[in-house]
Every structure is written in structure tokens, then in C-alpha cells.
Structure 1
């Protein structure tokens, strides 16, 4: 997710000289330097010291170790933006000090192509300028919406994990085309563009997906026959349960860090 965010920022015109990062894995670090021309800090402490805005993109499982390392370098002049699933602003404020300025964010990997969807929520000490900065950063890689913190686990389940659901759907559409005799490359291209085109139509028209679906379903036609199968096999309920499972896991991650 960190690389997707970095690439998205650079594609959106963010100056490379203003971007610094730290990566403990040497091979990964060299790859990032060569691929993006970024400046790698010597360690997390050095990174925090030279930065006004810090994006925390580590794994939740090593959060405590990372925060303990950088705690002394933090001060009230720095804004921390966390993209860690399940970790609340209160948890971060408790670790860094009650006056820490923290924004919790949940972006998703389509940010890599400038088509991300991010939800943001402010901590107790976030200023109007912090709000503007965070909004601007995430709007360079897609859309950014502010939500209440109690909704962030649901955001993780929907838009955070959602791209993987869509990739699975595209894969299944492609397989269906191959099963019915299409070449793999043709089936893949048709499946991808069908999903992109349908999503674009929903966005551009503002019409409810159900209404757009009805426009495709002719009486006794091919599409309504397929929709019947999807309903019988429980696609709708399955997708809702998938979002619920990811949401639950996000909550669990937060509890593990309390």
C-alpha cells in the first residue's frame, strides 16, 4: 500500500524531492530508490526528524516497535497520517503523547493508478490546516472522504479490501468467457473493460445500480437468466458477508493493539 501511495503521489505531480521513506529490507529499499528516485532515510528516526508530515504505513503487528523507536523524534509540529488497519487515533495519541496530531486514513491500492478511494478521520488535535493537507494528499491519488472513526473498520472491509473482491470477479468473468470458447486474452480484455465501463456508467449517471441493471435485462433474455443464477447462488449475500469478514478482522487487529 505504501508503494501504491508513493507512486500515486508522484503521478499526481508531488515533487520527488519532498518525498522521503524508510524501508528496512535492503533489496526492497534499493528497488524503491531505483524505481522512483526517492531518498531513503537511514532509519525511522531520521525520517521523522526531516519530515513535517509522516505517513505511517508499517504492518499493524510491528506498530509498537516502530512507535517506540520514533517517539523521541516526534513533536507537536508534526502531522502523522496512519494507514494501518484497525489502529485508532486514540491508540496512536496514547503512544506519541496526548497532543499528537493524528489523521487515520484507509486508502486502497487503485491509488497506484490515481483511482484510489480513501476515507479519513481526524484525531483530537488535528487543525484545519492538517485537514486540508491530508485531503490534498489523498485527492492526488483518487477521492478522499471524511468519516467518523467508528466507521473506519467498515471502510476497511468495503473499499480497503474491495479491490481484491473486484479482481476475483474479473478473474471469474474471464474464466467464464474461456469456458465458453473465447481466447484468454480476449476474455480478459472484455472482462476488464466491462467492469471499468459499468463502474464509469454508475459514477457518471448517478443512477442506482439496480436501475442500470434493469436496463440491461430484457424480458426472457440472456442477462436476466444469468442474474437468476447469481441470485440463486447468493452472490449478493456472499459479497455482504465478505465485507463483514474484513470489517471484523480490522476490529480484531485494533483490539490486539490495545
Structure 2
């Protein structure tokens, strides 16, 4: 458990809830967490009942008392939120940002002082404790700040430290990654229905196939292409199926998908920074 006396969440969305669920198991006591939300009091009360955390609508007061501040509002609201809490920010606090496209430099500037900022890109699998999260430190973030952030995000999955410039690529790969897998499962379920399998049977088989393949990849030092070839007998059913994927350029489509998501992250980040600069 952390020795921090208080952790303040600015925002109370689904990612904030996933973190709260993970943090209260191993990182801190529920009473150490204060959650603020600009409008939805019912949402705060729900989190308070479910996790035993403290709810507050006065974000500035929550920040005044906090050792760690977690920015979990919508990225478009960051300038307004920071204007509210900036007077309460102290130089010795750690600020963690979940805001896609918002650089640590921008947050430092909005804070109006030198403060340790660590930016994170988790994914929605945090809700089941299996997020793939990448973190990057700002100019004033020390190794200890990064270690604290790492310990916090490890409560909802695995954590990798990357240069901040890589976070757009991380967004395109693992940030959006769960949706790509869901899309694959959609296609497999539709195909299963087309060939006559019952929906429940198909879903069970598909999910276990994906889980099993992921565990094989984790357990083996072999390249994915080697594992694929090992189950692809010449003239067999797997080779027949793979040949169709090759015909439709499956790998090229996946690569283009990840590249486009990465570029879109860059575009959204640039647009957001321009809007903040004009405000």
C-alpha cells in the first residue's frame, strides 16, 4: 500500500473506475482516494457506494489535499479543468494524465508551474485487470515518479515505460487494440453462424481459441510465424483458411489499420493542442 495520504481523481469515467477498482486492491486504501466530477453527482455516489472511496465536487479542495492527481476527464475539457485546479497545485505533487493526445508539456504549461507529470495510455482491458499500459514521464518526472506510476497502473495490468513520442504509436497498437480483437471475434461469430454452429457454442470455442493462442505466444520464445507454420499442414484445413486471408491481404489490412489509428491520434492531438492554445 502507498504511503500517499490522498489521491485525487479529476473525472469519474470508466477508466477512472477501472483504476479505482485495481488500486483499492493493492495500491492504497479506499479512504485515500477522492473522486471529483464536474456535473454528475449520482456517478460520484455510485463510486462511493461501490468502492468506499470519498466523493467530492470541489476539485480544487481535493487537489490541495492530494499527493497524486489523476487527470481522467475528457481531453477536450483539460484546459477548463486545469484552470480550476491550477491554484491548488503544489510543486511536490505527482500528476498522472490519462488524456489521449495531451502532451506532458501542455499539462505543465496549464499547471503554471514545474510539476512532475506522467502520461499514460492504458486500454479498456483495465476493467478486468488486464490492461496493456504505456507510460512516459515529462521534464520534471523523476525515476521515482515513474516507479510510482508504474506501481499504480500495474494494479490493472502490465506497464511499459516508453519515450513520450511513442505514445501515438502505442495508441494505434494497444490503446485501440481491444477493438481490433473484438472486430475479429465479430467476424468469427458471423462465420460460425453461417456454417451452422450454435451461437453459445461458437462463442465459447472462439474465446478459448483466442485465450489459448495468447497463452501460447506468452509461453513460447518462437516467432508468431513459426507457431503459425507449426499448425499449418501442407494441403490441410489451416493452410486452406490462411490462403484466403492472404488472398484478402489480411496482414496488410492490419498494418494499415494500426498506421491509420496512429496518424489519427497525431491529428487529434494536434487539433486539441491548437484549441487549447486559442482558449
Q: TM-score over 0.5 for the alignment?
A: yes
Is the counterpart of residue 17 in structure 1 residue 31 in structure 2?
Answer: yes
Runs of 4+ in 1 over 4 A off after TM superposition: none
Question: Which whole-Å deviations, capped at 9, do the CAs of 1:26-59 have from their partners, x for residues lacking one?
Answer: 3322322222222112222122122111111111
Across the aligned residues of Structure 1 and Structure 2, the Cα RMSD in angstroms comes to 1.5
Question: Which whole-Å deviations, capped at 9, do the CAs of 1:213-234 have from their partners, x for residues lacking one?
Answer: 1111111111111111112112
Q: Which runs of 5+ in 2 are unaligned?
A: 1-14, 274-279
Of 188, 194, 203, the residue aligned with 1:179 is 194
| Bigger shift: residues 197-206 or 242-251 | 242-251
Is the 2:233–2:239 Cα contact (8 Å) retained in structure 1?
yes
Is the counterpart of residue 233 in structure 1 residue 248 in structure 2?
Answer: yes
User: What secondary structure does 2:57 align onto?
Assistant: coil
Superposed displacement of residue 132, structure 1? 1.5
Aligned ranges for residues 84-95 of structure 1 at < 5 Å?
A: 84-95=99-110
Superposed displacement of residue 193, structure 1? 1.1
User: What secondary structure does 2:101 align onto?
Assistant: coil
Aligned to 2:122: 107
1:185 and 1:11, CA in 2 relative to 1: closer, same or farther beyond 3 A?
Answer: farther
Cα separation, 2, equivalents of 1:14 and 1:181:
50
TM-score (norm 1): 0.95
Aligned to 2:222: 207
Superposed displacement of residue 14, structure 1? 3.7
Is the 1:103–1:120 Cα contact (8 Å) retained in structure 2?
yes
TM-score (norm 2): 0.88
Aligned to 1:244: 259
Is the 2:18–2:156 Cα contact (8 Å) retained in structure 1?
no
Q: Which runs of 5+ in 1 are unaligned?
A: none
User: What secondary structure does 1:85 align onto?
Assistant: coil
Structure with bigger RCO (C-alpha 8 Å, 6+ apart): 1
Superposed displacement of residue 97, structure 1? 2.7
